[in-house]
Structure 1
Amino acid sequence: MELGRLGVWYPTDRLDAAQLAALARSVEQLGYGTFWYPESRGYESFSLAAHLLASTTTLNVGSSIANIYARDAFTAQRGMATLNALNGGRFILGLGVSHIPMVEGLRGHRYDKPIPAMRAYLDGIQKDTTEDWPIALAALGPKMLELAGKRTRGAVPYNVTPEHTALAKSILGPDKWLAVEQKVCVETDLAKARALGRKELSRYMALPNYANNWLRIGFTEADLADGGSDRFIDAMVLSGDAAAVKERLRAHFTAGATHLCIQPVHAEGDFAARDAMFAALADT
């Protein structure tokens, strides 16, 4: 399976069935290799993948992330195998440990230590088989990245910088997927771009998993206070005209990314801006 140089990442819970199908077909026609989507409070991950795969013919579809607390390991294995068998081998199972509020508050499970929990989950998926499953981990810290390199095809880091990409590459090694998500806002009004970025990032800034990683890769507590410093927002959401955004996106490839997942940041419901960004950045 080849992910392609570029993919897209989009918050699918905002869209209905027709909008999802249209978006998937559009990014496929633009030449993007893989469509990545989250699993949060809305669509169930595998059901959504089936819809996206049925709506396209060549586009890979990747869960980013499928919550390991949402289904047991055997169900995840069988779901992954089924989606690939019925859709020409185009599904990637991106797995993550999620966050305490989403696991304990929403689902009512106990949130276990991330590394042992993920290791046990992979043990369940890979039990009694030598199949090289198309699995990647939503890995941020060194230990999870190391596990991704040893047990899966690679990692799908989220909310990171090229500095993190270089670190991840050094841990994963040369032959693993490093599919990096990067938020963008093709907007030359810097104040507007930053306002959109702060709104988009606000829900992530309350989650310790992300905050700890941002501190680990060079941001400070002050950068994360009061909605985020300009330095932080500008790093998390690349803005400017299309040429400027492309140049900054390429820094991830220089740092070692094998695949880049572009997530457009736009005003709620402004699908024209979303589509324009996808079109403008398709040749990055």
Structure 2
Amino acid sequence: MGGDRLGMRWGLAGGTTIASVAEARRVARYADAAGFDGLWISHATAVDPVVALACVADDIANLAEVGTSVVPLYGRHPIGLAQLARTAQSALGGRFTLGIGAASRGAVATTMGLGWEHPLAFTREFIDGLQPLLAGRPVDLDGAQLSAHVALTIDAPATPILLAALGPRMLELAGRRVHGTSVGQCGPRTIATHIAPAIRAAAAAAGRPDPRIMALVRICVTDEPAPAYELARATASRYRQVPSYAAVQDREGLADPAELHLIGSWERVLDGLAAYGAAGATDLRLEVAAPDEASREATREALAAHLG
């Protein structure tokens, strides 16, 4: 593939286990120095990604975009999330993108003890409350599950939204209402036959521009693939506990869902990434999924060499 960028934005997936702002800063500085277009930090049980990204604003002069992938909506309110996001945007000067998602029934019930009723309608109402505030406008919402009546006095550019979506109704909502989607456990076949057609049709029907489709792809450059595949199998197994992820894993038609990880030589990895572009992905969110420090460093070096 030479030195081309495949016609897509390349973002680094900062990971789910960043335990401190200092660690977030190290990841951000690598992404900035290596030549990535952006940096994405996931929302898990480690640092809050919105706060962490705001904290490293002065360390990422070369990154065009940073964002979350994704902040779960259950347990939050549009006013509080908009206030947090616009505060971060004031530090990041228009480079912040807010990735959101409804999360899953199991995660909501286990970690928060909340009910999981009408998640699509809840997400729709959350966006109704969130979007005006992120654009600097007042909101006046009386919904079945959420209400919001406020104007925020935060000086910041507007913040775009990506909505995590795997099912057809959530993809329709993403295409009709926001800038695009961020997906995981979706290979090129699933993107080409399911994700891209659904979200693009919804955007076109709503008179909106072509949506962004950001694919999370885990990669490992190594001469010894067996340990990396063991890590990939463990990762795929965790995702199979969530029905929506299991469904898209099955849709890909792989003998082993671990094959979603791109493992081996840099040339093999790069050919795999090119397949995502051909399938319709507009953005890559690349996670270094390596079982040891040697392969982790080899992957980072290969990325930096290619991007540079």
The bucket for the TM-score relative to the shorter chain is 0.7 to 0.9
Aligned to 1:147: 173
Q: Distance in 2 between matches of 1:51 and 1:112?
A: 35
Relative to the length of structure 2, the TM-score reads: 0.79
Is the CA contact 1:4–1:34 (under 8 Å) kept in the aligned structure 2?
no
Which residue of 268, 271, 274 maps to 1:244? 268
Aligned counterpart for 1:58 among listed residues 54, 57, 62: 62
The one-letter code matched in structure 2 to 1:168 is I
The share of aligned pairs that are identical, in percent, is 29
Aligned residue pairs total 269
- Deviation at 1:100? 2.3
CA distance in 2, matches of 1:115, 1:144: 7
Matches within 5 A, 1:218-257: 218-219=252-253, 229=255, 231-234=256-259, 236-257=260-281
CA deviation map 1:86-106 (0-9, x unaligned): 221111100011122321211
Unaligned runs of 5+ in 2: 1-6, 137-157, 201-208
Does the CA contact (< 8 Å) of 2:28 and 2:59 recur in 1? yes
Between the aligned partners of 1:204 and 1:73, the Cα distance in structure 2 is: 28
2:110 matched to which residue of 1?
105
Alignment of 1:9-24 (within 5 A): 9-24=13-28
TM-score, normalization by structure 1: 0.86
The within-5 A match list for 1:1-284 is 5-59=9-63, 60-127=65-132, 133-166=159-192, 167-173=194-200, 175-215=210-250, 217-219=251-253, 229=255, 231-234=256-259, 236-267=260-291, 270=293, 273-282=295-304, 283=306
Deviations 1:166-214 (A, max 9, x none): 1322222262111111111212323222112112333212122211222
Which stretch has the larger CA shift, 134-143 or 40-49? Answer: 40-49
Q: Which residue of 1 aligns with 2:154?
A: none
RMSD (Å) for aligned C-alpha atoms: 2.4
In the alignment, the residues of structure 2 paired with residue 14 and residue 201 of structure 1 have an alpha-carbon distance, to the nearest angstrom, of: 21
The corresponding residue for 1:226 is: none
DSSP 3-state at the match of 1:156 = strand
Provide closer, same or farther for how the CA distance between residues 256 and 105 of structure 1 changes in structure 2, counting only shifts above 3 A: same
Alpha-carbon distance in structure 1 between the residues aligned to 2:27 and 2:135 = 35
Unaligned runs of 5+ residues in structure 1 are 224-228
Amino acid at match of 2:258: I
Work out whether residues 187 and 252 of structure 2, in 8 Å CA contact, stay in contact via their aligned partners in 1.
no
Measured in 2, the distance between the counterparts of 1:42 and 1:128 equals 27
